[in-house]
Amino acid sequence: MDPIILDDYTRAGEAAEYIAKQTALRPQIGLVLGSGLGAFADELQERVSIPYANIPHFPTSSAEGHAGNLVIGRVGNVPVAAMQGRVHYYEGHSMQRVTFPMRVFCRMGIKGVLLTNAAGGIGAQLRQGCLVVLRDHINLQGANPLVGSNDSRFGPRFPDMSEAYAKDWRALAIQEGKRAGMDIFEGVYAAVPGPSYETPAEIRFLRTIGADVVGMSTVAEVIVARHCGMKVLAISVVTNMAAGILDQPIHHAEVLQTGQRIRGQFTALLGSLIPQLAIS
Ligand code: HPA
């Protein structure tokens, strides 16, 4: 007998069904906590932590600094689903695998996602430890997660990306960040495949084409989240200045350390921001 090959709509539905059995909470907002930023999920109220490996069809990560749990809980009155870590294209996963969690969020009935990541700072005003709310992106990963046949139960063949990052959510994030006294900016994120960091020449190129920060994640998730009609906010933590800006090499340890250093501030920002996102 031929094996039955399930489509992503069905597979994501099975994952969502499994998750719904682990808790009575029905998340409204999905969070993806990037490198070194997973701690926020440990503070959720009424939380249930589900290892990715237990969720049907869910991809599991090998990257250091990524715990690999989906934590369901509350921020104030708002039920959320928080991913502690994500899988990356550079790990060898297909774009379809990388973005499968967004399909699961969609099938859970989540209305919007807040994606976070560690990024290299390109813009002149940026410093290590500051935050950049993404206004737009440039996809240089050489792949798009929507390539292949389109499943119209998720969304249209040619989704619009002219305002991928919700304007009102961006404004709220900037406002909350400033209120908390944080160094926070708006900017454009260039997504590269990695895993090698960029060369100084590549960073000069990225600056020329209008990028403020560079990283190896997020954009594919944004495309899929928008494809299935979820609202998107994304925030980069500038964990290091991009290659060639300072006269020093980039180490992954530094990326994780910066994430940990601003963890308290970042957690406080998410805590005050999420209840506002939920009502707008
Ligand atoms: N480049 C690409 N990805 C990154 C960087 C960087 O400098 N820092 C954190 N993620």
pLDDT digits (tens, 9 = 90+) for 148-201: 999 999 999 999 999 999 999 999 999 999 998 899 999 999 999 999 999 999
Residue 223 CA to ligand 1 centre (angstroms): 20
Give the sign of the dihedral formed by CA 234, CA 235, CA 238, CA 239. negative
Least confident piece of the model among 150-159, 203-212, 260-269: 260-269
In the structure encoding, which two tokens stand for residue 164, read together? 């991928």
Select which of 35, 61, 69, 236 is catalytic.
Answer: 35
Q: Is 236 a catalytic residue?
A: no
Instruction: Give me the CATH code for the 8-279 domain, please.
Output: 3.40.50.1580
Residue 206 CA to ligand 1 centre (angstroms): 13
Tens-digit pLDDT profile for residues 39-90: 899 999 999 999 999 999 999 876 555 569 999 999 999 999 999 989 999 9
Element spanning 102, H or E: helix 100-107
The residue whose CA has the least distance to atom 10 of ligand 1 is 119
Does pTM top 0.85 for this prediction?
A: yes
Measured from the Cα of 118, ligand 1's closest atom is: 9
**Confidence (pLDDT) at 64:** 57
| Phi, psi values for residue 140, rounded to 5° | -110, 20
Q: How far apart are CA 226 and CA 251, in angstroms?
A: 33
Select which of 16, 41, 63, 66 is catalytic.
Answer: 66
Q: How far apart are CA 74 and CA 77, in angstroms?
A: 6
Select which of 216, 225, 230, 234 is catalytic.
Answer: 216
CA distances from 166 to 74, 140, 171, 191, 228 (A): 23, 22, 9, 19, 14
Q: Is 102 a catalytic residue?
A: no
CB atoms within 10 A of CB 200: 11
Pocket probe mutation, ligand 1, options 130, 214, 219, max atoms within 8 Å of Cβ: 214
Residue 214 CA to ligand 1 centre (angstroms): 6
Tens-digit pLDDT profile for residues 211-247: 999 999 999 999 999 999 999 999 999 999 999 888 8
Residues with CB under 6 A from ligand 1: 118-120, 197-198, 214-216, 239-240, 242, 250, 255
Q: Is the CB of residue 181 less than 8 Å from the CB of residue 202?
A: no
Pocket probe mutation, ligand 1, options 140, 141, 239, max atoms within 8 Å of Cβ: 239
Closest of 204, 185, 211 to residue 129, by C-alpha: 185
Select which of 41, 63, 82, 88 is catalytic.
Answer: 88
**Confidence (pLDDT) at 18:** 98
Residue 16 CA to ligand 1 centre (angstroms): 31
